[in-house]
Amino acid sequence: MPHRLRPGTRATLQVRQLLPGEFAWIITLLDPGTGNVRSTNYSPRRYASQDEASAAGKAAVLEILGADTPPAP
């Protein structure tokens, strides 16, 4: 992400069925101070099952939140 996340930023993950056999994830980041939506990230691809989209979405959440965390010494 191009901007730093504030400590306590929360992420919600939704999996939506777009068409039969086509699923995608949506990640919403919530600002800890106000509770307002900070950003929304959409799945760049479509998945054949809800489980596959959910697993990919969980990995994306970890990547988004982890990308802003400095490496441990």
For 69, the token pair is 């965390």
Binned at pLDDT 50, 70 and 90, residue 72 comes out as very low
Contacts of 42 (CB under 8 A, 6+ apart): 24, 25, 26
Q: Tens digit of pLDDT for each residue in 19-35?
A: 999 999 999 988 888 88
What are the tens digits of pLDDT across the range 44-67? Answer: 999 999 999 999 999 998 888 776
Please state, in angstroms and rounded to a whole number, the distance separating the CA atoms of residues 66 and 36: 21
First vs last Cα of the chain: how many Å apart?
22
pTM: 0.75
Which one, of 51, 50, 43, lies nearest residue 20 by Cα?
50
Q: What is the pLDDT of residue 7?
A: 78
pLDDT of 6 higher than 90: no
Asked if 60 and 45 touch (Cβ cutoff 8 Å), the reply is: no
